[in-house]
Amino acid sequence: MAGLQPVRGTHDLLPDDFRRHRHVTETSRAVAESYGYAEVATPIFEATEVFARTMGETSDVVSKEMYSFRDKGDELVTLRPEYTAGICRAFISNGLMQHVPVKVFAHGPMFRYERPQKGRQRQFHQIDVESIGAPEPEADVEVIALAADILRRLGILDKCVLELNSLGDGESRKAYRQVLVDYLEGHRTHLSEDSLKRLERNPLRILDSKDEGDRRIVANAPEIAGSFNAASQDFFGAVQAGLVVSGVAFKLSPRLVRGLDYYTHTAFEFVTDALGAQGTVIGGGRYDGLIEMLGGPPTPGIGWAGGVERLAMLAQGVPAAPRPIALVPIGEKAEAAAQGLARELRAAGLIVELGYRGNPGKRMKRANKLNASHAVMLGDDELAKGVAGVRDLDAGSQTEVPLAGLAAALKA
């Protein structure tokens, strides 16, 4: 058993790691609540169709990265690779159309079979924000400002750049698709195999190719803004103006796309090079066609997701582990009394460590190892007088405190 290791691409969250993760999720939850976003949770697995239908059968996630299997009822299910599709499925399943706008926050584990790298695992964690039912550009501004405020609260915002683009409305996107295909057809012989497949099915995804040859071709491709109609120009202008008024700095990034057909208008990413190569810490966009694609009524939406692992690596101001009180009983009577005293102190909101064995010297060594702030010494003499010896482990001083006022004294 000693040689067993976690499955490749997974990792154990030990107390120090988990404290950083919890700092990210609790900070994010608090900021989201201040914007009126309520927390939700969806199942960790869904019918495979939920992701295949929304992300596209030919996308890398669906074709190469999803953990899909048939359960004992012969149903094809998939461990969730992302949150948005499941939340939109929940929106339809629970009849939430009458409650729009529905504004939610979620966090939890995701699963993708991809090459593990720094800050990216096969089981990873995300925070997620979705605003469903609001077609106005103000909703776009709000979700982006919310992301910026989370990054600011985590001490990360000054290490990030907000890259912003628009895909236009359906009409503009369709017009650009034709312009892009016409351009790429002239470079067909130099496109990668993956991009040749995308050229037929989803040419916008070629703009996001990581292949060096593709990137050189894409560098000179026409920009999508040249295909915008007046409505698309006005919408994107309103988003930019709203961000300026909100004090959220951004950089226009004409090559930033969301390749799937249900994406419209705003696309954005907060990127950083603080972890080495440039990486995205939060990314999202408007997906006005997604709920309809899942079988629901036409419903606008916008949202984003952020990787908790990367955010936790960058986060500043992570609270230190709380320091316990070490209870050190001396003698059989004190051992018995300490059980009840420990419970009383915990009920008062204190963290109490009560060792099960060892002489006072060994228990004091353990108290120091645990970084306890105080040791409470309890022996036969103290019990007879109704007091405890309280040693301040930082100052080295010790005083006697009545048991009746012990909790209040330790909290003070």
Contact, 29 vs 39, CB < 8 A?
yes
pTM of the full structure: 0.89
Cα–Cα dist 71/49, whole Å: 14
Indicate whether 56 pLDDT > 80: no
pLDDT tens track for 180-199: 999 999 999 899 988 998 88
pLDDT tens track for 243-265: 999 999 999 998 888 767 678 99
Our measurement of the distance from residue 285's CA atom to the centroid of its chain's CA atoms, rounded to an integer in Å, reads 16
Mean pLDDT of 302-327: 94
Cα–Cα dist 411/407, whole Å: 6
Average pLDDT taken over every residue of the chain = 91
Indicate whether 277 pLDDT > 80: no
How long a stretch of residues is the chain? 412
Indicate whether 58 pLDDT > 70: no
pLDDT tens track for 91-134: 999 999 999 999 999 999 999 987 766 657 899 999 999 999 99
Indicate whether 43 pLDDT > 80: yes
Mean pLDDT of 328-354: 93
| pLDDT for 59 | 58
Confidence of residue 28 (pLDDT cuts 50, 70, 90): very high
Mean pLDDT of 308-337: 92
Cα–Cα dist 159/275, whole Å: 10
| pLDDT for 390 | 95
| pLDDT for 117 | 67
**Do the strands 76-79 and 123-132 form a parallel or antiparallel pair, or are they unpaired?**
unpaired
Nearest residue to 174 via CA among 263, 58, 254, 252: 263
pLDDT tens track for 132-176: 999 999 999 999 999 999 999 999 999 999 999 999 998 998 999
| pLDDT for 61 | 64
Confidence of residue 283 (pLDDT cuts 50, 70, 90): very high
Indicate whether 370 pLDDT > 70: yes
Nearest residue to 124 via CA among 136, 134, 115, 137: 115
Set out the domains of the chain in order of their start, with CATH numbers: 15-169+229-314 (3.30.930.10), 325-411 (3.40.50.800)
Cα–Cα dist 46/85, whole Å: 9
Tokens of 259: 């390749």
User: Of 275 and 171, which is predicted with more confidence?
Assistant: 171
